[in-house]
Amino acid sequence: MSLRWRAISVGLLVVIFGWLTLANFFDKQTRLESPWLPDDLLRMGLDLQGGLHWVLGVDLDEALAREAEFMAAQLRDDLAQEEVTPVELRGEGRRLTIVAANAADLAVIKRVLRDYPVLQPVSEDGNRLELELVAGREDEIRELTMRQVLEVLRRRIDDPVKGIPDSVITRQGKDRVLVQIPGGQIDRERARALLDKTAFLEFKIVIDADVSEEILRGRYPEGLPPNTEILFERDRETHTIVAAYLVPKEARITGQYLSDARVGFDRRQQPEVRFTMNREGGRLLGELTAENIDRPMAIILDNEVYSAPTIQSRITYNGRITGRYSMDEAADLAVVLRAGSLSVPVRVEEERTVGPALGQDSIESGLRASVVGLVLIVAFSVVYYRLSGVYASIALFSNLLLLIGLMSLFEATLTLPGIAGLVLTVGMAVDANVIIFERIREELRSGRAVRAAIAAGFNKALWTVLDANITTLITAVILFQFGTGPIKGFAVTLSVGILTSVFTALVVTRLLFDIYPGERAETLSI
Rounded Cα–Cα distance for residues 107 and 185 (Å) = 62
Please give the pLDDT value at position 383.
92
pLDDT in tens, 33-58: 777 888 778 877 777 777 788 888 98
pLDDT of residue 160: 47
Q: For position 303, what pLDDT does the model report?
A: 82
Answer yes or no: same fold for 3-45+358-515 and 61-138.
Answer: no
User: How much is the pLDDT for 320?
Assistant: 75
Q: Give residue limits of the domains in the chain.
A: 3-45+358-515, 61-138
What whole-number distance in Å separates Cα of residue 339 and Cα of residue 342? 9
What pLDDT sits at residue 402? 93
Torsion of CA 353, 358, 359, 363, to 10 degrees: -150
Which pLDDT tens digit goes with each residue over 263-273?
777 767 778 77
Residues sharing a CB contact under 8 Å with residue 443, sequence separation 6 or more, in sequence order: 452, 453, 456, 457
Report residues of the chain scoring pLDDT below 50.
Answer: 160-163
d(CA 259, CA 264): 16
Reported CATH class of domain 3-45+358-515? mainly alpha
Nearest to 457 by CA among 468, 472, 443: 443
Give the pLDDT of residue 382.
92
Report if pTM > 0.95.
no
Domain 61-138 belongs to what topology?
Gyrase A; domain 2 (3.30.1360)
